[in-house]
Structure 1
Amino acid sequence: MKLFNTLSGKKEDLSKSKGNPLRLFVCGPTVYDYLHIGNARTYLVFDAFVKYLSSTSTKVFYLQNITDIDDKIITRAAEEGAKPEEIAAKFQRIYFQNTKDLGITAVDKYAPATEFIPEIAEQIKTLLKKGYAYKIPEDGIYFDIAKFRNYGRLARRTALQAEDATSRIDESIKKKNRGDFVLWKYADQRGSLRACLPAGRDLRGKNSVIVNGDPSTSLRASPSWSTPLGWGRPGWHIEDTAITEKFFGPQYDIHGGGIDLKFPHHEAEIAQQESASGKTPFVKIWMHVGTLTVNGEKMSKSKGNYISIADFLKRYPADVLRLIALTHHYRSPINYTETLVRDHLASWNGLLEFLGKLHFVEKHAIVKHVLPKGEIDFSKELEDDFNTPKAIGAIFKRVSNLQPKIWKFSKSEARGLYTDIASALRSLGFSPSPPKIPAKIEAFAKEREKSRRNKQFVQADALRKEIDRLGYVIEDTPLGPYIWGKHEVRSTKSETNSNGRKFKTI
């Protein structure tokens, strides 16, 4: 398999250590809000990637972090009068429910940052000892990007561009370089963390946090930990490298994530780990997933175009979002529109209907004729930079070619084709199971067929209309009546979203 490596700018062979599973790390969510369908795209891509590799007998260890301490979490907690750990726990539960609902099951280990404070502190100590980090009294410990010669190489940019300081807690006027980023943010004697809230706001009186289970240490505004570095909490970038070093060592195979994380987050990870270990490269291949916009615009709650995962799933099946993600190359942008999602809904329903017909033919076929075999083989496409659009295109082409012949298949042909197509879809994480027809609908269909044979056409038509009213369509075929469910969008313009607001159709 060849994959496009963002660092080198070209496709490279995917290799792994002999006898060991492929080591994959993907940046997980910061659990402070409902995740949107753009976040889902990244996690669906890597879920499909791992499931495909597993179908080829390639063992993978898939690690994902969860940022459960961050200034965004602290701010949300202060706004709601809650503890940061309560906010983090709430949205972590929602994230896990999202992944379950989306059929994302390939992750082997979820690693919340707060469970790895000792490892984070140890890596920072190493950076201090080697001279890559420095302390600002009553502020924090920062990484000195001027000391790391290759800083900016991943993103193809210079190290000292003015916009490099993108995080509130990184914006210290005492930094050596504007782009220096925080590794550890000190807590003061009261336990509050400086610069963790938006400028001009002081919400510290709204909640109290107990540190490390000790009621005698009641801290305001932010949780902190006692370490050899002093009381404080970790910066965003350092958690990932401390976690991956814990599980993978200083070097591993693939790092994935959204393209929006390339700079400064992934750039900072390279600087941290290669400085701490002295080994290069930190990661063999960097895989970045493209952006997802809505009607050409970035998702924003203020614009009313923010679509959470839960809101999407109120309207459409999970496999439709997976189909949208995988019919676009993972590196390409997606512009989500109502037309796009409805087209993909129709395509997915068409696949399910075809599989349902194959199942029907398997039960009712009487011919013994056997058509030439032609199994779906899309390994060539997937081995070339995980080209899922071409792979899925091969499935649709196969279905299109077989559609006119479907009522002529033998039982064994229908069974074999069903297995072939369903297996191909499952290897990318889809759940291609045609819906079961209720016994009541099947009884109506049998009664209608009896009426047709007796030339009671008025009664037969009335039964057809009743079946249609109940959400099903009956199709008369050479093998008898075939029933399938009508697939409609499951929400209306008046439905509320995860934020309790009315959401608009796109």
Structure 2
Amino acid sequence: MSESLPPIHIHDSMEGRKLPLSLVQPGKVGIYVCGMTVYDFCHLGHARVMVTFDTVVRYLRARGLEVTYVRNITDIDDKIIRRAAERGEGLDSLTQRFIDAMHEDEVALGCIAPTVEPRATQHVGQMLELIETLVRRGHAYAPGNGDVYYAVRSFPAYGRLSGRSLEELHSGARVEPGEDKRDPLDFALWKAAKPGEPAWDSPWGPGRPGWHIECSAMSQETLGCRFDIHGGGADLLFPHHENEIAQSQGAGCAFAQHWMHNGFVRIDEEKMSKSLGNFRLVRDLLPIYGGEVLRFFILNSHYRSPLNFSEKLLEQARSGLTRLYTALRELPDDDGSILPEDSWGPRFHSAMADDFHTPEALAVLFDLAREINRRRDAGEPFAALARRLRELGAVLGILQRRPEDFLRGDAAGIDVDWIEGRIAARAAARRERNFAEADRLRKELEECGILLEDGPGGTTWRQAGGRGGVA
């Protein structure tokens, strides 16, 4: 890590404040992120998790750190079993279909694949070993009906992450029908098999793992008993992450040094939830806005803040990204320019080192784009600055396409031949000094969301802030 760059600080959810990034092994980072339960397509909340931690990983690697990025897949769960039964589909077929769809969305959002992507069904053996350790250490018990439960009161530190006391939690806890818990606070580590459900052999009879034990086992298998960062959405802080801590530390593992949680997604200022019917699927938004605009939209909010979704805000994100790509258009291979005294790089790193503050980092990119445009308009060399803009954009996972492709909206399903035909007809009308017809053609294109820019090299075009379209 370069001494000239500021130290990285992370807001640690456990401590409730920013702390310097502390590494188990100097120069190496192990990060575990709770991934998707694959029974449906990814929604905006999943997209935020993907983009947030992809950006964290990109920045850590840009700082010269060797990062092992683990994001798990939950492919056995009550919701998956119910969905497969509803559709009369095998579990393997259902989960693989949604895993493939998740990977498609991930690529569209510009996310780098995790270093390791463990699946729960491939780690049942490790889960059983962990459960047996907890039973031996007095943190878990088997009531004799094939289930195994974690005894929450055996772990005095329970509730520290979420800031909840055992008394507060007990007042809202209850025992569901069919459960044989000693205490309403206890949670399932292993569930006895029900007819028709998938099952694995265990010392307590056929069954399947509880949800929480999965991540404790998979993080330990992939990163060891002590690793650097555990991340996920704020909705997982309690009880999932609280239970992970109890399981892992109860079994003798030190577990995560830092905890990071991204904020909720809101739809028109209302919390997104399937129960309210206001959730948005990534694949429904991609044909309209494209993955890079969605990524840029997510980066415009600090990862810990609520992310409010609206059509207006997405259009603003498209317009902002268009401004950055416009600064990169017609970039000469080499105009002899050299990077002047670079204030943008230090400012960018200052923002990102301060708990990955992407809105401030984007503000630096906009300042850099304004300087590029000023130099272009003044006839001054600007290629070195443009390369710097692309370089810093890469750390955020943006600005890596050909500017012409983005500005023409090649992902929006528009008819390029029709547009270029109208531009050619307008050029012919101008040559014939038929300016009324040329203006009519320009207006026709503008009504379809296509903006023209006349320059010495001819006429170029791009999409306006809206989606646009053609006949």
Q: TM-score, normalised by structure 2?
A: 0.87
Listed as ranges, the matches of 1:288-303 within 5 Å are: 288-301=261-274, 303=276
1:114 aligns with 2:121: yes
Please give the secondary structure, in 2, of the residue aligned with 1:391: helix
- What is the CA–CA distance in structure 2 between the aligned matches of 1:402 and 1:415, rounded to whole Å? 8
**Partner residue of 2:182 out of 176, 189, 204:** 176
1:253 to partner: Cα distance? 0.3
Residue in 1 aligned with 2:3? none
**Cα drift, residue 249 of structure 1:** 1.3
Q: 1:398 aligns to what? A: 368
Equivalent residue number for residue 201 of structure 2:
226
Counterpart code for 1:154: L
* Secondary structure in 2 matching 1:66: coil
CA 1:309–1:443 in structure 2 vs 1: closer, same or farther (change >3 Å)? closer
Matched residue type, 1:259:
A
Q: Greater shift after overlay, 427-436 or 119-128?
A: 427-436
TM alignment of 1:212-251, pairs within 5 A: 220-251=195-226
Query: Matched residues in 2 for 1:302 and 1:268: separation?
Result: 25
1:276 aligns with 2:251: yes
- Asked if 1:476 is matched to 2:449, the reply is no
Q: Deviation per CA, 1:397-451: give whole Å up to 9, x if none.
A: 23235434432244xx332222111111111112442234668866865775576
Instruction: Provide the C-alpha distance between the structure 2 equivalents of 1:414 and 1:172, rounded to a whole number of angstroms.
Output: 70
Of 435, 439, 446, which aligns to 2:404?
435
Return the offset for 1:119.
0.5
Distance 2:420 2:468 in 1: 24
- Measured after TM superposition, the shift of residue 90 of structure 1 is 2.1
Post-superposition offset of 1:346: 1.5
1:138 aligns with 2:138: no
The one-letter code matched in structure 1 to 2:156 is R
SS at match of 1:474: strand
Aligned identity (percent) is 35
Match of 1:321 in 2: 294
In structure 1, the partner of 2:96 is 89
Q: CA deviation at 1:463?
A: 5.3
Conserved? CA contact 2:372–2:386, under 8 Å? no
**Cα deviation digits, residues 239-270 of structure 1 (max 9, x gap):** 10111111111110000000110011000101
How far apart are the structure 2 equivalents of 1:289 and 1:150? 23
Superposed, 1:402-421 pairs within 5 Å as 402-410=372-380, 413-421=381-389
- CA deviation map 1:283-303 (0-9, x unaligned): 110001011111222224454
Q: Paired residue for 1:306? A: 279
Name the SS of the counterpart of 1:395 in structure 2. helix
Provide the C-alpha distance between the structure 1 equivalents of 2:112 and 2:205, rounded to a whole number of angstroms: 38
For residues 330 and 470 of structure 1, the distance between their equivalents in structure 2, rounded to whole angstroms, comes to 35
Quick one: distance in 2 between partners of 1:141 and 1:235? 9
* Contact kept in structure 2, 1:241 and 1:273, CA below 8 Å: yes
In structure 2, the residue matched to 1:254 is 229
Question: Cα 1:402–1:20, aligned 2, differ >3 Å: closer, same or farther?
Answer: closer
Moved more, 29-38 or 391-400: 391-400
Alignment partners' CA distance in 2, 1:294 and 1:243: 33
Q: Return 128-137 or 315-324, whichever deviates more.
A: 315-324
Shift of 1:462: 5.5
Letter in 2 for 1:178: P
Residue 484 and residue 83 in structure 1: after superposition, are their counterparts in 2 closer, same or farther (change >3 A)? closer
Asked if structure 2 preserves the Cα contact closer than 8 Å seen for 1:74 and 1:221, the reply is no
Instruction: Rate the CA distance shift 1:490–1:94 in 2: closer, same or farther, 3 A.
Output: farther
State the one-letter code of the partner of 2:404. P
Number of aligned residue pairs: give it.
Answer: 449
Deviation string 1:362-391 (CA, Å, 9 cap, x unpaired) is 3899xx999955462100111111111111
Q: Find the residue that maps to 1:427 and give its secondary structure.
A: helix
Asked whether the 8 Å contact 2:449–2:468 carries over to 1, the reply is no
Q: Distance in 1 between matches of 2:127 and 2:276?
A: 38
Residue aligning to 1:344: 317
Contact 1:165 1:180 in 2 (8 A): no
**Take 1:261 and 1:299, find their aligned partners in 2: how far apart are those partners?**
15
Give the aligned partner of residue 412 of structure 2: none
Map of 1:385 onto structure 2: 355
1:8 maps to: 15
Structure 1 position 485 matched with structure 2 position 448: no
Distance 2:418 2:279 in 1: 40
Deviation, structure 1 residue 470: 7.2
Is it true that 1:424 corresponds to 2:392 in the alignment? yes
Contact 2:339/2:385, CA 8 A, preserved across alignment = no
The question of whether the paired residues in 2 share the 8 Å contact of 1:184 and 1:233 is answered with: yes
Cα distance in 1 for residues equivalent to 2:370 and 2:349: 20
Whether the aligned pair in 1 keeps the contact of 2:351 and 2:360 (CA below 8 Å) is: yes
In the TM superposition, residue 137 of structure 1 has moved relative to its aligned partner by: 1.6
Q: Distance in 2 between matches of 1:267 and 1:41?
A: 21
State the distance in 2 between where 1:315 and 1:93 align.
21
CA distance in 2, matches of 1:181, 1:333: 29
SS at the partner of 2:124? helix
Return the match for 1:334 from 293, 296, 307.
Answer: 307
Q: Aligned-pair distance for 1:149? A: 0.9
Bigger shift: residues 284-293 or 338-347: 338-347
Residue 411 (structure 2) aligns with? none
Is the contact between residue 161 and residue 237 of structure 2 (CA under 8 Å) also seen in structure 1? yes
Select between 146-155 and 314-323 the one with higher mean Cα deviation: 314-323
**Conservation of the 8 A alpha-carbon contact between 2:315 and 2:465:** no
Q: Distance in 2 between matches of 1:296 and 1:40?
A: 18
Give per-residue Cα distances to partners, 1:178-202, cap 9 Å, x unaligned. Answer: 1111001112xxxx1xxxxxxxxxx
**Aligned CA distance change for structure 1 residues 487 and 432 (closer, same or farther; 3 Å):** farther
